[in-house]
């Protein structure tokens, strides 16, 4: 996982960290392409949990994790759900009772080249569902 290569690919910068987390959940936990955050190797202290319970080291790890176009081309399905493992990494014990991990900018998700299906636990914003449909992406809501 997360092997160095001799690629000339430039990392893709995400406009919205929460959208990046949706993609990272697939790449780290579903496809095992990238290494997920491991608190056992992070040398954490209680000070690394901010006031709201967010693990700042996990957030920094995922923020710094580079996504290449070849990584993004592997993402064919995406889940928008409060129970994603990557969200629990960033905010241990978060129950999804607020919108703190809802993407505000969906452009990077809409630009995923191989995306075919989006599963969502709750309705997506109308403009996002419409844009996904226009791209031929199947949208399934709970």
What is the pLDDT at residue 98?
A: 85
Q: Give the mean pLDDT of the chain.
A: 89
Residue 3 pLDDT more than 60?
no
What is the pLDDT at residue 77?
A: 97
Of the candidates 92, 93, 101, which has an alpha carbon nearest to the alpha carbon of residue 121? Answer: 101
C-alpha distances out from residue 10 to 13, 19, 68, 98, Å: 9, 19, 6, 34
pLDDT, greater one: 6 or 95: 95
pLDDT, greater one: 112 or 140: 112
> Of 55-64, 94-103, 112-121, which range is least confident?
94-103
pLDDT, greater one: 95 or 44: 95
> Where is 118: in which H helix or E strand?
strand 117-120
pLDDT digits (tens, 9 = 90+) for 100-134: 899 999 999 999 999 999 999 888 999 999 999 99
pTM for this model (two decimals): 0.87
């Amino acid at each position: 996982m997360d092997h160095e290569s001799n690629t000339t690919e430039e990392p893709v910068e995400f406009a919205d960290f929460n959208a990046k987390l949706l993609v990272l959940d697939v790449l780290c936990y579903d496809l095992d392409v990238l290494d997920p955050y491991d608190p056992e190797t992070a040398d954490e202290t209680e000070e690394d949990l901010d006031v709201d319970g967010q693990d700042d080291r996990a957030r920094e790890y995922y923020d710094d994790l580079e996504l290449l176009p070849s990584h993004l081309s592997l993402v064919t399905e995406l889940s928008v759900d409060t129970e994603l493992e990557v969200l629990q990494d960033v905010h241990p014990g978060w129950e999804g009772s607020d919108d703190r991990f809802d993407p505000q900018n969906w452009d990077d998700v809409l630009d995923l080249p191989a995306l075919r299906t989006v599963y969502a636990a709750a309705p997506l914003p109308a403009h996002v569902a419409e844009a996904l449909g226009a791209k031929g992406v199947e949208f399934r809501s709970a």
